[in-house]
Amino acid sequence: MTKISIVVPVYNEKNYIRQVLDRLEKVSFSSLDKEIIIVDDGSTDGTKEILESFEDSFKVIYHNKNCGKGAALKTGFKNSSGEIIVIQDADLEYNPSEIKDLIQSIVKGEVSVVYGSRMNGNNPIGHRRYYLGNLLISWVTNLLYGSKLSDVETCYKVFDRKVLDKINLEQNDFGFEAEFTAKVLKNHFSIREIPISYSPRNFTEGKKINWYDGLKAIFLLIKYRFS
């Protein structure tokens, strides 16, 4: 039976993590098996204590200190066993019920990588500066790699495990998003985008990415294109 591994990187999300995990638990993939892997990246706000109550239901892994989203994802990938891997953020910006739509093209063997695009859905813009930054990052990606992506920075990246065998991930922070996309494209995997819903949150609600991460993303896209 094909198994889906949903990897959830978590850092200081005590206000949202219960709801996210409850929603993930309710998602059924009919004939497909499912595992949920949570990586707590050194949370200090009480998230770790909440996660301890989920250890009987999910695989929970703890980092002793905050290492970054990329590091948490790499830990999750190493501890996953599914043929299909899904990345799920630990907030309520993305709807876990839509994972079923995202995996279909991979289950059918049509593509190896699927991105959930916030730009192709009928969604609110949220913070305009970061919206425009994402457009710029996607434009740079398309210019450098000949792709036609609309949302490189999306959380919802779904892929066949064989993709991980072809790429060596280095970035430990939000640079993961650009690095993963660059290396997927350089290894000639096509990326299919599926529209998703999106409920943006602001910094008072816990949003963590900043303008520096956007600049680094562009630097990494250039670096990996020519290295």
What count of residues does the chain have?
A: 227
> What domains does the chain contain, in order, with CATH numbers?
3-226 (3.90.550.10)
Is 118 a residue whose pLDDT tops 70? yes
Q: What is the pLDDT of residue 122?
A: 78
Question: How distant, in Å, are the alpha carbons of 2, 82, 98 from that of 32?
Answer: 5, 10, 15
- Among residues 39, 83, 87, which one has the least CA distance to residue 63? 39
- Name residues whose C-beta falls within 8 Å of residue 85's C-beta, 6 or more positions apart in sequence: 4, 5, 7, 77, 158, 159, 160, 161, 164
Q: How many Cβ atoms are within 10 Å of 188's Cβ, its own excluded?
A: 7
The C-alpha angle 43, 206, 57, rounded to 5 degrees, equals 50
Q: How confident is the model at residue 56 (pLDDT cuts 50, 70, 90)?
A: very high
Q: Average of pLDDT values for 111-130?
A: 84
Q: How confident is the model at residue 196 (pLDDT cuts 50, 70, 90)?
A: very high
Q: What percent of the chain has pLDDT over 70?
A: 94
Which range of 26-30, 31-35, 142-146, 200-204 scores highest in mean pLDDT? It is 142-146
Q: What is the pLDDT of residue 200?
A: 77
Per-position DSSP letters for 15-33, written without gaps between them: TTHHHHHHHHHH---TTSE
Q: What is the pLDDT of residue 130?
A: 77
Q: What is the pLDDT of residue 208?
A: 58
- Name residues whose C-beta falls within 8 Å of residue 108's C-beta, 6 or more positions apart in sequence: none
Is 214 a residue whose pLDDT tops 60? yes
Q: Average of pLDDT values for 98-114?
A: 96
CB-based contact 194:114 (threshold 8 Å): yes
3-state secondary structure of 14: coil
Please report, for the chain, how many H helices and E strands are present, in that order: 8, 7
Q: How confident is the model at residue 202 (pLDDT cuts 50, 70, 90)?
A: low
